[in-house]
Amino acid sequence: MAENTLFPRREQLDRGNVLNVRDSIARPSLDTFYQVNFSFGNWQTWLGRPPTGNRTQAKDFMEKMSILCTQAELPGTQFVTSTAIGHHQGIQEEFPNLRNFPPLNLVFYCDADQVILEILEKWMSYINPVFTNHRQKNAYARFNYPEDYKEIIHITKFERDSFTEDSSTYKSHMTQYEFVNVWPSNLTSMRVAYGDSNVLRCSVQFAYDRFFTSFTKKGDYKFAVLPQAEPQSKELLAPLTNKNAPSGSDTTFATGIADIKDNTVRGRAKKNSIGISDGLLLKGV
């Protein structure tokens, strides 16, 4: 009798010629093809008058930041888990209960007009400005509202052939990241010294609430829904009557059938209502 197993069988292991996998392994992604876009919407609040003219070489200051961004990161993510012991005899299980997003680290070439430093310094100074004279001994600072300084940043990862105009040539797909509610949390120090000259670099760490990608699945594709079991009797589908319903309660019937807008039982039940779903008595929601 053949063993019932999901392990790959001998005939499923790839033992063919290297030519069969050449097209797959010959198309690696290169880390030098990317672009960071600063999609600022509140810059007039925290920046005020932006640098223009010769200081930005007749470009938008956000465009100059994008050009001088020499290093970026494609973010990862991590789940904080909780352990469940005893749900199954002798089995220890882990489930996610919180998703953490790591900070975004960007490195800029500092231009001779110090546009990059000016923008970052003004941004961070607006978050926590000093409301008195900076030289006063009793100077104090306050924090501004996050809605005024949090921004959006996009990172696009593309390949050498992503923009080819030849219709007969295969185009590589692009991956785009959007970081929501971004603000600078750490501007690292920059060392200057006599000796060999090097381009001054500015490293900034950004905090944000979350990110999503162009191929991220949205939350409406699947909900936590009670299993749609077949009812055991017609009485289960009948709404509660005034005879068996608690006094003063709404007798609206709440089912476990999926709805287009809200697939949850909670979304189908009205406030202060009770009903039966898959044999379970639902209390008021």
Averaged pLDDT, 151-163: 91
Q: Are residues 229 and 211 in the same domain?
A: no
Residue ending a domain, among 161, 189, 216, is 216
The pLDDT of residue 149 is above 90: yes
Predicted pLDDT of residue 132: 85
Q: Are residues 155 and 129 in the same domain?
A: yes
Averaged pLDDT, 142-146: 94
Which CATH number does the domain housing residue 188 bear? Answer: 2.30.110
Averaged pLDDT, 100-126: 95
Which class for 13: exposed (0-12), middle (13-18), buried (19 or more C-beta within 10 A)? exposed
Predicted pLDDT of residue 70: 95
Q: Are residues 271 and 207 in the same domain?
A: no
Q: Are residues 65 and 176 in the same domain?
A: yes
The pLDDT of residue 268 is above 60: no
Cα–Cα distance, 114 to 43 (Å, whole number): 18
Averaged pLDDT, 23-33: 86
Residue ending a domain, among 216, 231, 250, is 216
Q: Are residues 257 and 155 in the same domain?
A: no
Residue whose C-alpha is closest to residue 254's, from 242, 270, 232, 241 = 270
Per-residue confidence band for 264, with pLDDT thresholds at 50, 70 and 90: very low
Predicted pLDDT of residue 164: 79
Q: Are residues 202 and 246 in the same domain?
A: no
The pLDDT of residue 47 is above 60: yes
Q: Which residue range forms the structural domain that includes residue 249?
A: 223-285
Amino acid found at 17: N
Residue 63 lies in a domain: yes
Averaged pLDDT, 122-129: 94
Q: Are residues 169 and 260 in the same domain?
A: no
Predicted pLDDT of residue 252: 42
Residue 193 lies in a domain: yes
- Which tokens in the block code for residue 170? 């295969």
Report phi then psi at 23, rounded to 5: -65, -25
